[in-house]
Every structure is written in structure tokens, then in C-alpha cells.
Amino acid sequence: MDIEFVAASAAFPDKAAHALIVFEGQALSGRAAAVDQASGGAISRALSASRFTGAKDQLLDLPAPPGVAAARVLLVGAGKSDAFSDITAEHTAAQAYNAVKTSGLTSLRLELPAPGREPRAALGVRLAAYRFDRYKTKEPPERKPSVILTQVVVDDVDGALAAFSPLAALADAVAFSRDLVSEPANILYPAEFARRVKILEALGLEVEILGEPEMHKLGMGALLGVGQGSVRESQLAVIQWKGGGEVQPIAFVGKGVCFDTGGISIKPAEGMEDMKWDMGGAAAVAGLMHVLAGRKAKVNAVGILGLVENMPDANAQRPGDIVTSMSGQTIEVINTDAEGRLVLADALWYCQDRFKPKFMIDLATLTGAIIVALGNDYGGLFANDEDLAAGLLAASTAEDELLWRMPLPAKYEKGLESLAADMKNVGGRPAGSITAALFIQKFVNGVPWAHLDIASTAWKKPSGAPTIPEGATGFGVRLLNRLVADRYEG
């Protein structure tokens, strides 16, 4: 999707839809009124024959009347003017794009009812226009997006371009993350994931890839145990962005199970194809590092990706096996489908041991229990540090990637006690997301830490935000980028 910022006097491109974002009760004020005047009042007459009031999520799509240069006029309700926000600007712009994307028109012109949020509207269109179609060889033309250019009307073109630059870097990073999650597991296995991250060195990142020999030397028995049933070699990707001088880095760790069969504790066949996105946490961390480099963030950041495949061959880890983690703590593997926490155990320990970060945040599609608890609109937030938790909650609200704070009661650790090892990898069905977080906490070594369980938000069903097409969401990239920008740069 090409984005242009243009003055109101700029000529319309061919085959254009003219979208007017309007406030509730003020449908034909400002620029909308000017378009109505040019049409000789035709839009007013169409409004009088409709129920369109400008309420949030309302749409009115009209053939352009004489006097209007576009092929169609689209009114998009933004709700009350005093509630108009960056997110509202994104969503209304995305709704406009979604309404005409397969119409046969080739361009869209957007006009907002108030200046200042045009770059966020452009971001909304970029995010809504994402499509993962590289494996489609036959598709009816009417299903293919036809709109390839969006013009956003602004008063100051240069200012809008400058404001959009970091948002364009964000859109690129979200698309990168969504691509990773969308790929099938026969294409995106650990080594291929690592290769795609290595390519990000072109942005100025430093990327190291550790293979199984290096991880064996480090004693990463928990991570390596997960991947031992796969013919695909496990990897640990270490990504550094050095934009903040000689200061302590901040760190992000992602679970990257490129496919999760459940191992010997095999999952049901129904829905198992979705387990290609069990690396959504690692994809989010990779996307975050992408945007930090893309917008040249003034911060030192580290991203660690534990990349494995959980398969049930003759060499696979068995229920009852005991593994020794990099920390030296031993783990009795009760359920091989509780594998993500084993990957994070070694990745987090490695991160704190090597980099001594200011804090660590891990992201993982960790538990089905978080979906039972929170549905599909909130990720679960667990934290041992109040300031870090507060920053994450504020960023999640600002970027509409919502988190809900969950408890970490120490008494629930009793469920992790093992007769034969230092701990078990599961604590039973009750409070499954909480006991999983308590398990992970045993490997942070006192560093300020937060765990985001994003099993509920990494993949989107047909309903939801208009900026997120059905499929991979890239959840986590935006909120972590906002956290860094608001609290840790400079």
C-alpha cells in the first residue's frame, strides 16, 4: 500500500473513493460540508434518507454525485468529537479502506474532521492492508484488493511525512512479525526463522545464532529437551540494538516453538494446524527489534529468541524425564506439551546471565488457560515489578493491544513441587496460566521481569479491530515499542 500526504487542493487520482471521517452529530461540518456544497447538496439529501448520524462504526457509501471528482463518496462515523483519539483515527481509516479495498477502485482519499492525527490514520490503512497471500496461485479477481494508493489530506505535507516516518517503521515491523506467524511450519522451522532474523542486520542490528553445540556447552538442557524429537535443529537467536550509548540494556525474550505437536503428550488432531503460530512470542520480539532499528531508537535493547520444534519421534522427550536447565535447577517433565516454559527457562537465564539487563519481558503463546480466563481481546500480564507492570498497562491501552494484570501468589507454587527434581513443569489444571508464570519466574534470578501470555491474542478470528485482518496479529510489537518510546529512550 502506497501512502501519500496531499493538500486538499491536490487533484484526485483516477478511480478514487473519497472517504470523509465525520463526528457524530456533525456529519456535514468542515471538509464534509465543502464536499456537500460541491455536490449541490446531494450528500445532504442522501443523509436525510439514511440512518447515518456519524456514530462510531457507521458507514454510508454513495456513488459520487455530479460536482465531486471521486468515483464514490464514503462517510465513516468516528463517534463523539471529544473521544476522537489516535486509535479512533486508525480504526476509522481502516474501516474506510476495508469498505472499498475490493471494489475495483484503485485509490482512496481520506479526510479527517480535525487536524493532527492524519499520520495515525495512514498507519491504520497500512495495518489493515496487510495480506498473507504468497502461496495463493488461483484467486478470483473480485477477492483481490484493488486499492493500491491511499492519499491523506493534510495542511502540512512535510510535517505529516516526518510524523509518519516512525509509524511507517512500525507498520513494516508489524508486517514482518505477521509474516513470521503466518508461515507454515514446513517453511518456517528454527533455522529458517533464524535466517530471517539474521537478514535484519541490514537495519543495523547485531544478530548471533547459537546452534545445538553451543547450547549444549551452555547447559541448556531444558530448551534442548523440547527439540530433541525433531529433525530440525534448535536455535537461539540473540539480537542487539545499540542506540543508547554505554547504558544498561533492556531485554525481551520470545518463545519460538515453530510447530507444537505437544510431543509425546500429543495434542488432539482438531486445530493442531494452528500450532504453526506457537512462535508468536518470538515473532513479536523480532518485530520489536525491527522497529527499534527502523526508527533508530535511542536505547540499548536485546532480543532473545528460543527457536525449537516440538515433535514426537523415537528420540522425543518423555513424560517423567528430568532435565537440567542452564540455571542448574532440575525439572521433571510431567507433560511434554508444557514445552514453552522450558524454552523460556533457559532463554531467560541466558539473557540475565550474559547481559545483566535493566529488566526482562518475555512473550509467549503459553497456555490455553489464558484464553479461558480472558477471552481473545486481552493478553495476560504477570510481573514481579510494579513500575514495569504499570508501564506495560499504559502502553497496552495507548496502542489498543490490551493486557490484564494477573496475580502471582506464592502459595500456588506448591503445585510445582516434584518428588524427584527441583520442580515439575506443570502445576495441574487449576490456575494453569498462573502456575506457568510462577514456573518461569524461577529463572529470572531476581531481575525485574514481566511475562506476557499472548496465546489469546496472537491470532485473530474474523471479528475485531479493523486494523487487523483475520490471521496473525503481530500482537506485542506495538505495545512494547510504545513502552520503550515512552519510558526508556534517551
- Residue 219's closest CA among 346, 352, 348? 346
**Hunting for cell 505437536 — which residue is that?**
261
pLDDT of residue 217 exceeding 80, the answer is yes
pTM metric for this prediction = 0.97
Segment 72-101 shows an average pLDDT of: 96
pLDDT of residue 27 exceeding 80, the answer is no
pLDDT in tens, 452-467: 999 999 998 766 799 9
CB 19, CB 110: distance < 8 Å: yes
Mean pLDDT across the chain: 96
**pLDDT confidence of residue 462:** 67
CB 402, CB 377: distance < 8 Å: yes
**pLDDT confidence of residue 34:** 87
Task: Flag the least confident range among 24-28, 144-148, 480-484.
Answer: 24-28
**pLDDT confidence of residue 408:** 98
**pLDDT confidence of residue 463:** 65
**pLDDT confidence of residue 26:** 79
**Which residues carry out catalysis?**
267, 341
pLDDT of residue 188 exceeding 70, the answer is yes
- Residue 119's closest CA among 172, 159, 75? 159
Segment 311-327 shows an average pLDDT of: 98
Rounded to an integer, what is the distance from CA 32 to the centroid of its chain? 34
pLDDT of residue 145 exceeding 90, the answer is yes
pLDDT in tens, 240-250: 999 998 889 99
**pLDDT confidence of residue 31:** 79
